[in-house]
Amino acid sequence: MVRVGDPNKIKLSYGPEKKEFIVAVDLDGIIVSWLTAVCKLCDIDINDEDIRDELKDGVYLDAMGVISEEDMWGAIDREGVSFWANLDPLPWAKKLMKAMEELGTVYILTSPGKCISAPSGKMEWLEKHFPEYLEKFICVRDKWIAAGEIDILVDDSIKKVEAFREHGSHAFHWPNDLRLLDGEEDVDEVIEKLKEEIKEYKKD
């Protein structure tokens, strides 16, 4: 409580309004089955034990020597908007989004990769599966540019996670989706861990 001007007049001051906690969730590999679709499109056997194990470890397809980065993005680009719009949602997509909505305001923060049709295709995908996020959709290659405004990023790319942290915000490294699909990590435990981290951050 502070006195302003006339000492008989009192103005109540409650300090700055508390900022809402904002969670940004990536699409590909988090709630969208991108990797499986790319392998199918490029005629790569994702069930090959060696290939699958390397993918689980975060090794890119071009680094394995099974396809060049240029050829992979070329194949995706030829499919156009339909490639992105018709990707399958991952089994835990709704559960994860619901859990995040209970803890803050949720945005989609995704990268277009090297594909000009990705933003439009991803918006079509959202319209089919999560239409409420069409107005909370951010598509940019350098996700760290949103650090500071966004409190935590949920992403499966360790490079993007590290960059986000380096620019002053929190980030959670989501496990490779194949590891979750194969039961090597439990998705419910991962979601609970993420929730606990967010609760701790919100105390700051």
Q: Does residue 148 lie within any of the structural domains?
A: yes
pLDDT tens digits along 149-203: 999 999 999 999 999 999 999 999 999 999 999 999 999 999 999 999 999 998 8
- As separate numbers, helices (DSSP H) first and strands (DSSP E) second, the chain gives 10, 7
Helix (H, G, I), strand (E, B) or coil at 19: coil
Q: What pTM does this model have?
A: 0.88
CATH number, position 195 = 3.40.50.1000
Position 173 in a domain: yes
Share of residues in the chain with pLDDT > 90 (%): 86
Residue 152 in any domain: the answer is yes
The answer to whether 146 and 163 are in contact (CB under 8 A) is no
Q: Which residues of 139-164 are buried (b: 16+ CB within 10 A; e: fewer)?
A: beeebbebbeebbbbbbbbeebbebb
Distance between CA atoms of residues 82 and 190, nearest Å: 31
pLDDT digits (tens, 9 = 90+) for 87-96: 999 999 999 9
Q: What is the span of the domain harbouring residue 116?
A: 16-33+88-201
Say how far apart CA 85 and CA 121 lie, in whole Å: 5
- pLDDT reading at 73 higher than 90: yes
Domain count, the chain: 1
How many CB atoms are located within 10 Å of the residue 179 CB?
17
Do 118 and 85 contact (CB within 8 A), yes or no? Answer: no
The torsion angle over the Cα atoms of residues 138, 144, 148 and 150, rounded to 10 degrees, is: 40
- Give domain status of residue 174, yes or no: yes
Query: Is residue 144 assigned to a domain?
Result: yes
